[in-house]
């Protein structure tokens, strides 16, 4: 379901980063919609970049796991 469909059903959406409130009436203001669209794209790009970096970090950690101890803390059920 698209964002605008949710809002038109009467759901009020508030964005956490800037506190803007979006209602069905917000769709009458092109400026509001453009701001929302740009913000959503920026958030999506940021999330994708973070996901990529975290994935790469885990990949490197898995590669090193067979060569070195990566942590001094082991699960309690694992005895030496």
Q: What is the mean predicted confidence (pLDDT) over 10-33?
A: 86
**Domain-wise residue ranges, the chain:** 3-50
CA 54 to chain centre: 12
Q: For position 54, what pLDDT does the model report? A: 96
Query: Has residue 80 got a pLDDT over 70?
Result: no
Q: For position 13, what pLDDT does the model report? A: 85
Digit-coded pLDDT (tens) for 27-63: 888 888 888 888 889 999 999 999 999 999 999 988 8
pTM, full prediction: 0.64
What DSSP assignment string belongs to 47-79? HHHHHHHHHHHHHHHHHHHTTS---S---TT--
Neighbours of 35 (CB within 10 A): 16
């Amino acid at each position: 379901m698209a964002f605008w469909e949710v809002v038109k059903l009467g759901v009020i959406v508030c964005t956490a980063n800037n506190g803007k409130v979006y209602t069905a009436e917000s769709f009458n203001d092109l400026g509001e919609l453009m701001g929302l669209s740009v913000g959503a794209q920026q958030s999506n790009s940021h999330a994708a970049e973070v996901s990529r970096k975290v994935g790469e970090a885990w990949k490197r950690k898995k590669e090193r796991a067979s060569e070195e101890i990566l942590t001094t803390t082991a699960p309690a059920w694992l005895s030496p």
